[in-house]
């Protein structure tokens, strides 16, 4: 073990205490951000004449060599250090000697870790945003190709009214649009630099916090040093946004699992994205969709965990906050993997248009349109609803669809029916007549697709600076 506080202590830390306290095992992920932050800090110290130019050069070179060696595998981040901050500092001193000992001037691990975590999270927000964008592109492409692909729309998982695949996918497009907007919002709020807050009360050195903030691509410095070292709101917000993304992916997955079932057969998942059974040779299982649905739980868990960790922490830094990392890292990694795999799965998935249209024809999905037909002929809607209800009952007994009845049979139930009823309740008419914006009618749908295309093109990608 190698600790940073030898001076005040007369005894070594108990081994189990040391291990319990250490975070290197997981904060090693932050090596790049830690070095990046230290480089900015050193440049600022030199600019402010707190450090000499030559010490700055020596330290920057040392840090750069540590970064390169970690990345090419010649320097292994080993567990004998408490955390990534002590690992980098100790290695720097090893490499450059005296100058390395000046790196930590005017800085505490509290503002250091606050900065590292913010830099890391910011990068993950950017990546997540890009992956959601890619998924939205896939969804939009499917929408463009399926404006006339009929399928049943459901409520209570019962066939309700006919719609199209473009319309159904369009619902998910809207969800992911909101997800991206949430990420952009979070980004705006989080992009302030906590470096320079010190342990909690700033420092007596004349630091230029605006300068480090600028070097690191932040809009500016945070404005309260106590809040700077103890704020993890941005991470909670990101976890909440990721939980919402997972909720959307999970609902989408659930639908694909249903569509892929033997009973539905609306879709066929590509071999590359399904798995077989070790015992049942006929099986092709939608494991990716199921795992995406399943992994939603751990992302919700990460959000609840951090909210709970933070709820009783007095100002400013407390060690509890080290618990912000493991589950958040796990959530970030899993959400990104889910987005990549889910996108691949739906990009390669085939639709069985025949089965979808056939299904849309059954289940009396045109019953509302039949009632609307009567309304158009002057029957009050409440009466029309009753007439069509009786009609449906009659069809159930006869085991047929409304369209299968003869005009005489229809007239037996209501004199108002004429020959034009068949045209009025055909699948095509049912969908085509729904032309209010947001509805599945082809013209309305094409208009929305054009708006969404423009949106995807003009909505910016997030990136530092």
Q: What residues make contact with ligand ARG under the rule CB under 6 A?
A: 23, 27, 83, 109-110, 113, 317, 319, 321-322
Helices 109-145 and 31-47: crossing angle, nearest 10°? 120
Reading phi first (left if > 0) and then psi (alpha if -120 to 50, else beta), residue 438 is in left
- 3-class state of residue 185 by DSSP: helix
Report, in Å, the least distance between residue 81 CB and ligand ARG: 11
167: annotated active-site residue: no
Hey, which residues does 2 pair with through a beta bridge? 81
CB closer to ligand ARG, 150 vs 317: 317
Cβ-proximal residues to 447 (8 Å cutoff; 6+ apart), any chain: 437
d(CA 247, CA 275): 23
Judged by beta carbon, residue 319 or residue 382, the one nearer ligand ARG is: 319
Least distance in angstroms from the C-beta of 14 to ligand ARG = 17
Q: Please identify, using beta-carbon distances, which residue of 166 and 331 lies nearer to ligand ARG.
A: 331
Select 218 or 317, whichever has its Cβ closest to ligand ARG: 317
3-state SS class at 192: strand
ω into 230 cis (within 30 of 0): no
Query: In sequence order, what E strands does 138-266 have?
Result: 150-155, 158-164, 192-193, 220-221
CB of 102 to ligand ARG, least distance (A): 20
d(CA 257, CA 240): 25
Please classify residue 10 by burial: count the beta carbons closer than 10 Å to its beta carbon, then call 0-12 exposed, 13-18 middle and 19+ buried: exposed
Min CB(85)–ligand ARG separation in Å? 6
Q: How far is the CB of 143 from ligand ARG (least distance, A)?
A: 44
Choosing from 54, 261, 277, 463, which is the catalytic residue? 277
* Smallest distance from ligand ARG to CB 328, Å: 11
Judged by beta carbon, residue 55 or residue 83, the one nearer ligand ARG is 83
Cα separation, 76 vs 209, in Å, equals 32
Question: Would you tell me how many other CB atoms lie within 10 Å of the CB of residue 172?
Answer: 20
What whole-number distance in Å separates Cα of residue 88 and Cα of residue 100? 10
Helix ranges, 200-232 (H)? 209-215, 225-230
Q: Which is nearer to ligand ARG, 28 or 293 (CB)?
A: 28
Q: How far apart are CA 162 and CA 142, in angstroms?
A: 18
DSSP calls for 387-454: HHHHHHHHHHHHT--GGGS-HHHHHHH-TT--TTHHHHTSHHHHHHT--STTSSSHHHHHHHHHHHHH
Residue 131 vs 229, nearer CB to ligand ARG: 229
CB 77 within 8 A of CB 24: yes
Q: How far, rounded to the nearest angstrom, does the alpha carbon of residue 370 sit from its chain's CA centroid?
A: 42
The yes-or-no answer on residue 41 being catalytic is: no
Least distance in Å: CB of 11 to ligand ARG?
Answer: 18
Which residues lie closer than 8 Å to 217 by C-beta, 6 or more apart?
191, 464, 465
CB of 89 to ligand ARG, least distance (A): 12
* Of 113 and 213, CB closest to ligand ARG: 113
Q: Which residue is nearest to ligand ARG (CB)?
A: 322
Active-site entry in 85, 156, 248, 261: 156
- Give the active site residues: 156, 277
């Amino acid at each position: 073990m190698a600790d940073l506080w030898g001076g005040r202590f007369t005894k070594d830390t108990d081994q189990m205490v040391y291990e319990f306290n250490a975070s290197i095992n997981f904060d090693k992920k932050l090596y790049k951000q830690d070095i990046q932050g230290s480089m900015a800090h050193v440049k600022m110290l030199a600019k402010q004449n707190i450090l000499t130019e030559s010490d700055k050069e020596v330290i920057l070179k040392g840090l750069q060599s540590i970064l390169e060696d970690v990345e090419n595998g010649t320097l292994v981040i080993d567990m004998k250090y408490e955390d990534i901050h002590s690992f980098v500092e100790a290695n720097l001193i090893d490499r450059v000697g005296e100058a390395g000992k000046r790196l930590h001037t005017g800085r505490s691990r509290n503002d250091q870790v606050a900065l590292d975590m913010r830099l890391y999270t910011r990068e993950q927000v950017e990546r997540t945003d890009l992956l959601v964008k890619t998924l939205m592109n896939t969804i939009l492409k499917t929408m463009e190709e399926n404006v006339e692909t009929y399928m049943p729309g459901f409520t209570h998982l019962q066939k309700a009214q006919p719609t199209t695949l473009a319309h159904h996918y369009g619902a998910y497009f809207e969800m992911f649009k909101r997800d991206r907007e949430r990420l952009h919002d979070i980004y705006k709020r989080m992009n302030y630099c906590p470096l320079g807050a010190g342990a909690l009360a700033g420092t007596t050195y004349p630091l230029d916090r605006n300068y480090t903030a600028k070097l690191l691509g932040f809009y500016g410095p945070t404005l309260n040093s106590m809040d700077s070292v103890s704020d993890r709101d941005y991470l909670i917000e990101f976890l909440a946004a990721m939980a919402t993304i997972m909720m959307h992916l999970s609902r989408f997955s659930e639908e694909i699992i249903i569509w892929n079932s033997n009973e539905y057969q609306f879709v066929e998942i590509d071999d590359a994205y399904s798995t077989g059974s070790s015992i049942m040779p006929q099986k092709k299982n939608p494991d990716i969709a199921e795992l995406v649905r399943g992994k939603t739980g751990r992302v919700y868990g990460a959000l609840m965990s951090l909210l709970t960790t933070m709820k009783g922490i007095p100002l400013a830094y407390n060690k509890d906050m080290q618990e912000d990392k493991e589950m958040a890292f796990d959530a970030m990694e899993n959400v990104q993997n889910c987005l990549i795999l889910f996108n691949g799965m739906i990009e390669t998935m085939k639709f069985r248009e025949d089965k979808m249209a056939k299904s849309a024809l059954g289940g009396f999905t045109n019953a509302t349109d039949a009632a609307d037909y009567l309304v158009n002929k002057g029957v009050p809607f409440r009466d029309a609803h009753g007439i069509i209800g009786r009609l449906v009952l009659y069809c159930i007994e006869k085991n047929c669809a409304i369209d299968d009845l003869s005009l005489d049979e229809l007239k037996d139930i209501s004199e108002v029916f004429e020959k034009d009823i068949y045209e009025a309740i055909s699948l095509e008419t049912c969908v085509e007549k729904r032309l209010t914006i947001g509805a599945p009618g082809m013209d309305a749908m094409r208009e929305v697709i054009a708006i969404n295309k423009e949106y995807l093109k003009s909505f910016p990608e997030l990136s530092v600076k």
